[in-house]
Amino acid sequence: MGHSGPGLPAAGHHDSPWQRPLDLYSNHPASLRPGEFIVESEFRIMRDAQPGTVYLKDYRQPDYLVDSTRLRFELEPNATLVQSRLKVRRNPAAGEGLPPLKLDGVNLELLSVAMDGAPLAAADFTCHDEGLSIPVDRAEFTLEICNRIDPEGNTSLEGLYLSNGMYCTQCEAEGFRKITYYPDRPDVLSKFTATIIAPRDYPILLSNGNEVERGEIDGDRHFVTWEDPFAKPAYLFALVAGRLEKVEDRFTTMSGREVVLQIFTEPKNIHKCAHAMASLKAAMRWDEEVYGREYDLDIFMIVAVDHFNMGAMENKGLNIFNSACVLASPETATDAAFQRIESIVAHEYFHNWSGNRVTCRDWFQLSLKEGFTVFRDAEFSADMNSRAVKRIEDVSMLRTAQFAEDAGPMSHPVRPDSYMEISNFYTLTVYEKGAEVVRMIHTLLGPEGFRRGSDLYFDRHDGSAATCEDFIAAMEDANGVELQQFRRWYSQAGTPILEISDDYDAKQQRYVLTVRQSCPPTPGQPEKQPFHIPLKMGLLGADGSALPLVAEGSSEGEINERVLEITEAEQSFTFENIAEQPLPSLLRGFSAPVKVRYDYTPAQLRLLMRADRDAFNRWDASQRLAFGAMAQLQRDFRAGIALQLSSELVEAYRSVLQQEGLDPALVAEMLTLPSAQTLAEEAETIDAEAIIAARKFAEHTLAEALYDELLATYRRLNHDKPYRPVADDIAERRLKNTALAYLCVTERKDALALAEAQFVAATNMTDSSAALAALVNRADDQCAEAALQSFYERWKEDDQVVDLWLGLQSSSPQRGTLGAVRALMLHPAFELTNPNRVRAVLGTFANRNFTQFHQPDGSGFHFLAAQVIALDKLNPQIAARLVTPLTRWKKYRTGPREAMHAALQSVMASGQLSADLYEVVSKSLKTD
C-alpha cells in the first residue's frame, strides 16, 4: 500500500515538481538537459585557465535567506533524484532592490526549476558550470528544483557518494553544491527536512534531527523523513543509507533529558563500537562540567564509513566518521588508535556547540570552530589521560608539521585572507595553531575568565554565524580586558622567534631576562608587528629547586611561576631577591606557539631534564639536548669526520632510564630522538642524507650504550596484564615498546628473539604491531617476511589492521623501498579510491620514510608526483594533500632541491589540474 505524507510522492497526482515522481519529470516543460542552458562565458574561461581567488575583504552578506529547506532523495547508484523546496526571502540587511538569486551547483544535471509553483523555462534563468542565476521579482518566494546526481561515479568523496554500497554525504566545506543547487555558504542558515526514498534492502535511512515519519512506497521501496529543528548551514547536512547495524546506549543530560546514542557500522564491525560509545558519553559529561554545554536533540548518531577524506564530520545529530576513527577492539586497534578515537569522537561532539549552534560566517573564519574545538578536545584528552604526555604529543606535531607549513609556500594566518580552494585550508595552522591561539587566551585570562568568555560567546551568538573577531570580543567583554594586539595572532602568519638572554647581578641579587621577538616573512607578509605572547616561566637553583619569583615593584606573595606578557619587539623583566645565579625554565607547557632561542649548556639541560617541575619542559630539555647532538653529527658527517655521539646525551638518557617514579610515557617520550622530519624543520637547509646518517648513528649508539638498562626496563614492564586502554597501562606499553625498538636496533640475536616472542604471544594490537615493527625495521629480513605474512593472513579481513600492515612496510627504512611501495600498490588490498589506503601506503612513504623517499636519485619525488597526478583525477582533496612533501623543495640543499622542483613541475605540466592541486602546486612553484 502506497503512503502519502508531507513531501512524498503519491503516484503522480500532484502538480508541483516537489511531489512529482521521477518518470513525470522527463516530460516536464522545464526539464532540459544542462547543455541546453546558456553558459556564462566568464565561468568557462575561469575554469579552463585557472581557479579564481576568493578574498576575505570581499565578504558580503547573502542577498537571500532560506527559511526552510525541504529535500527529497530517490536513491539510485547512478541516477539519484534530488528535489528541493526552498522558502526564500530577500535579506533585509543586504541592501535595496532584488538582485538575481545565485545558487551554487557543481556536476548536477538540472531537470526543472519552478518559482511559486510556476515552472521556469530555460530562457528565464542562467545555468553555468558553477550554478544558477535566477532573476527575481518578489521579496519572498518558494523555489522548487529537481536535479539528478551520480553517487556511484563520485570518487571525490564530496557531496553524495557510495562507500562499499552505503550512501553517505560529506558537505563541508562546499560539498552540498554537488547534491543540489543551493546558496552553499555557512552564513545561510535554514531549517532542513529530508525525505529519503530507497529500495527496502537499504533498511537504514538517516539524516539530521529527529525521525518524523516512515512508510512504504510501491511495495519494494520505503522512506523515512527527518526533521532538524535547529537552523543550520548546508555544510552540516548529512544523509546515510545502507545495510547497517547499530549499537545503542543512553545518556541523561544535566537537565535530566534522556538522549539516545547510536553508532552504525557494517555488520562485520559491530563488535568494535564500545570504545567510541564510552568516549562519546565521557565527552558529553565533560562538556557539561567544563563548559556548561548540554546536548540539544533527542538522538545523537555516529556512522562509520570506509571511504572518507578526513577523520570525521560533525553534521548536526548525525556525525559521519572514517571507520578508522571510530572502530576499535583490543585485538585490532593500537593504544594510539584508542586515544585517537577518544579525541575525535569528542572533537565532533564538541562541535555541536563550537561549530553547529554557533557556526562560521564564512570559511575564512574556519579556525573559529576548528581552533576552539581542537583546544576543547585537547583539554578533554588531557583530563582523561596524562596531561603532560598529551601536551608533548601535540607540541611535537605542531613543531614538526605546523612550523614547516608556516615556513613553506602555503603559509597563511590562522584566519587566512584569501584562498583558491577552501579544502586546502583545513590545515595544521587553522586547526593546531588555531588551538594554540585559543590556549593562549585561556592562559592570559585563567580558567574562570576563559569560561566567562566562552559563556558570553555562546550566549551572544547561539543560532547564528560568527567570526573570530566575535570570539575575541566576547573574551574581552566578559573579562573587561583588551586584546587588541593579541588579534595579530589571527592575521599574521609565520612562527615567531623569541631570542632570550639574561643577566644576573649577584651583588644586587637581581636577575634580568631580556626577550627579543621577531617573525620571519611569509608570502604576502614581508614585515610583522610584535605579537602579544604569554611566556610562562620559572627559575631553578643549582640544586634544581624552584626559586621564589618576585617581580620588580610587585606586591604579590611568593610564587615560583609567572606568565610574562611579551608585547614589545624587545622587553626586559627584572626579578628581585634572587639569591643565586638561576637557570630559567622558559615557555613552560609550551605557553605560546613560538621558537625559543636561549643558549643552554648541556649541563643546564640535564638539570632541567631532571628537576624542572614542569613535565613538559623536562621533555623539552631532552629534545634540546638531542637537537644539539644531532646537529653536531650532521656537521661531522658533511665534514667527513668520524661520528661520535655526545656523552652528555648518552648519560642523560641513562639517567632518565634510571630515575625512579617518572611517568613511563614521559620516559618513553624523553628517550625518543627527534624524528627526521623534526630535524628537517629545525635545519636552516635540509640535508636529508646527513639527517639520516646522524639519526641512524645516534640510535645505534644509544641502543648499544644503554642495552642493559633498556633490557631491564623491557623485562620489568613485559608482564601479562589483561589489556585495558587506560592511561597508566598505555604508558607502560609505550615505554616497553620504545625499549624493544631500541634493543632491536642493535640486531643482537637476543633482542630479536624478544621481539619474535612478543609477536607470537601478544594478545593486543599495540604489542603485536610494535613487535612486528621492530622486526620489520631490521636488516636481515627473512624473519620479518615471515612475520609480515602471518600477520596479513590473520588480519586480512580487517581494514584497519590491513592499513597498519601497509603503513608498517612503507614506513620502514629497510623494507619500504620504492620497489616495495610499488608492489604494495599492486596488492589486492590497495585501492587508489580509498583515502585510508592511499594514506597508509603513499602518505606514509612520503612523510614518514625519510630514508627511502629521499633517495639521492630523486626517484621518490618523481614517483610521488606521478601518483599525485593520477589521484587528482579521482580525488582532488587527497591529491592536494599528498603533494605536500614536494612543496618544501626550496629548503633542501642543492641536488634534492632541483629534483623536487622538477617533480613538482611535472605535476603542473601534466594537464588540467583540479583547483585543489593547482593552488598548492602553483603557490609552491612561485619563486619570489
Residues that bind ligand B3K (CB under 6 A): 172-173, 310, 312-314, 347-348, 351, 370, 423, 426
Q: How far is the CB of 438 from Zn ion (least distance, A)?
A: 13
Q: What is the Cα–Cα distance from 300 to 283, expressed in whole angstroms?
A: 13
Which secondary structure element, helix H or strand E, spans residue 517, and what is its range?
strand 510-518
Q: Which is nearer to ligand B3K, 242 or 876 (CB)?
A: 876
Beta carbons within 8 Å of 740's beta carbon, 6+ residues apart: 714, 751, 754, 755, 758, 770, 771, 774
Q: Which is nearer to Zn ion, 321 or 531 (CB)?
A: 321
Q: Which does 426 bind (CB under 5 to 8 A by kind): Zn ion, ligand B3K, none?
A: ligand B3K
Q: Which is nearer to ligand B3K, 313 or 468 (CB)?
A: 313
Q: What is the Cα–Cα distance from 788 to 782, expressed in whole angstroms?
A: 10
Q: Which does 891 bind (CB under 5 to 8 A by kind): Zn ion, ligand B3K, none?
A: none
- Among 796, 736, 798, residue whose Cα is nearest residue 771: 736
Q: Which is nearer to ligand B3K, 381 or 737 (CB)?
A: 381
Q: Which is nearer to Zn ion, 414 or 587 (CB)?
A: 414
Q: What are phi and psi of 782, to 5 degrees?
A: -65, -45
Active site residue 42: no
Q: Which is nearer to ligand B3K, 81 or 312 (CB)?
A: 312
| Cβ atoms of residues 916 and 423 within 8 Å | yes
Q: How far is the CB of 158 from ligand B3K (least distance, A)?
A: 7
Give the x/- contact pattern for Zn ion in 533-572, rule: CB under 5 A.
Answer: ----------------------------------------
Per the rule left: phi > 0, alpha: psi between -120 and 50, beta: everything else, 875 is beta
Q: Which does 366 bind (CB under 5 to 8 A by kind): ligand B3K, Zn ion, none?
A: none
- Among 418, 472, 469, 479, residue whose Cα is nearest residue 448: 479
Q: Which is nearer to ligand B3K, 231 or 878 (CB)?
A: 878
Count the site residues for Zn ion by CB under 5 A.
2
The C-alpha cell 619525488 sits at 861
Q: Which does 428 bind (CB under 5 to 8 A by kind): Zn ion, ligand B3K, none?
A: none
Q: Which is nearer to ligand B3K, 312 or 667 (CB)?
A: 312
Report strand pairing: 64-74 vs 131-134.
unpaired
Q: How far is the CB of 344 from ligand B3K (least distance, A)?
A: 8
Burial of 282 (0-12, 13-18, 19+ CB in 10 A): middle
| Cβ atoms of residues 596 and 586 within 8 Å | yes
Q: Which is nearer to Zn ion, 433 or 736 (CB)?
A: 433
Q: How far is the CB of 313 from ligand B3K (least distance, A)?
A: 5
Q: Which is nearer to ligand B3K, 306 or 767 (CB)?
A: 306
Give whole-number Cα distances, 424 to 233, 412, 421, 523, 880, in Å: 20, 11, 6, 16, 7
Q: Which does 144 bind (CB under 5 to 8 A by kind): ligand B3K, Zn ion, none?
A: none
Q: How far is the CB of 433 from Zn ion (least distance, A)?
A: 14
Report strand pairing: 239-242 vs 204-207.
antiparallel
Q: How far is the CB of 529 from ligand B3K (least distance, A)?
A: 30
Q: What is the Cα–Cα distance from 783 to 762, expressed in whole angstroms?
A: 17
Q: Which does 766 bind (CB under 5 to 8 A by kind): ligand B3K, Zn ion, none?
A: none
378-409 b/e with 16+ CB inside 10 Å = b?
bbbbeebbbbbbbbbbbbbebbbbbbbbbbbb
Sheet with strand 140-149: strands edge to edge: 118-119, 109-115, 140-149, 80-90, 64-74, 191-199, 221-227, 210-217
Asked if the peptide bond before residue 173 counts as cis, ω within 30 degrees of 0, the response is: yes
Angle subtended at Cα 571 by Cα 565 and Cα 572, rounded to the nearest 5 degrees = 95
Q: What is the Cα–Cα distance from 725 to 276, expressed in whole angstroms?
A: 12
Q: Which does 265 bind (CB under 5 to 8 A by kind): Zn ion, ligand B3K, none?
A: none
For 672-738, give the secondary structure using H, E and C.
Answer: CCCCHHHHHHHCCCECHHHHHHHHHHHHHHHHHHCHHHHHHHHHHHCCCCCCCCCHHHHHHHHHHHH
Q: How far is the CB of 312 from ligand B3K (least distance, A)?
A: 6
Q: Which does 466 bind (CB under 5 to 8 A by kind): ligand B3K, Zn ion, none?
A: none
Among 348, 393, 436, 669, the one annotated catalytic: 348
Q: Which of residues 351-370 bind Zn ion (CB under 5 A)?
A: 370
Q: Which does 335 bind (CB under 5 to 8 A by kind): Zn ion, ligand B3K, none?
A: none
Residue by residue, DSSP assigns 163-188 as: ETTEEEEE-TTTTGGGTS-B--STT-
Q: What is the Cα–Cα distance from 629 to 644, expressed in whole angstroms?
A: 9
830-849 b/e with 16+ CB inside 10 Å = b?
bebebbbbbbbbbbbbbbbb
Q: What is the Cα–Cα distance from 418 to 923, expressed in whole angstroms?
A: 13
Q: Which does 173 bind (CB under 5 to 8 A by kind): Zn ion, ligand B3K, none?
A: ligand B3K
Q: Which of residues 614-653 bind Zn ion (CB under 5 A)?
A: none
875: three-class secondary structure by DSSP: coil
Give the x/- contact pattern for Zn ion in 367-386, rule: CB under 5 A.
Answer: ---x--x-------------
Question: In angstroms, how far is CA 603 from the centroid of its own chain?
Answer: 38
Q: Which is nearer to Zn ion, 431 or 889 (CB)?
A: 431
The residue count of the chain comes to: 928
Q: Which is nearer to ligand B3K, 22 or 378 (CB)?
A: 378
Q: Which is nearer to Zn ion, 310 or 883 (CB)?
A: 310
Q: How far is the CB of 438 from ligand B3K (least distance, A)?
A: 14
Q: Which does 423 bind (CB under 5 to 8 A by kind): ligand B3K, Zn ion, none?
A: ligand B3K
Q: How far is the CB of 877 from ligand B3K (least distance, A)?
A: 6
Lookup: cell for 371:
581552533
Residue by residue, DSSP assigns 460-488 as: HHTTEEE-HHHHHHHHHHHHT---TGGGH
Residue nearest to ligand B3K (CB): 172
- For residue 358, the cross-strand partners are 354, 464
Q: How far is the CB of 319 from ligand B3K (least distance, A)?
A: 9
Q: How far is the CB of 349 from ligand B3K (least distance, A)?
A: 10
Which secondary structure element, helix H or strand E, spans residue 111, and what is its range?
strand 109-115
Q: What is the Cα–Cα distance from 403 to 191, expressed in whole angstroms?
A: 41
133: three-class secondary structure by DSSP: strand
Q: Which does 310 bind (CB under 5 to 8 A by kind): ligand B3K, Zn ion, none?
A: ligand B3K
Q: How far is the CB of 469 from ligand B3K (least distance, A)?
A: 21
Q: Which does 313 bind (CB under 5 to 8 A by kind): Zn ion, ligand B3K, none?
A: ligand B3K
Q: How far is the CB of 259 from ligand B3K (least distance, A)?
A: 20
Indicate which residues carry an active-site annotation: 348
Q: Which residues bind Zn ion (CB under 5 A)?
A: 370, 373
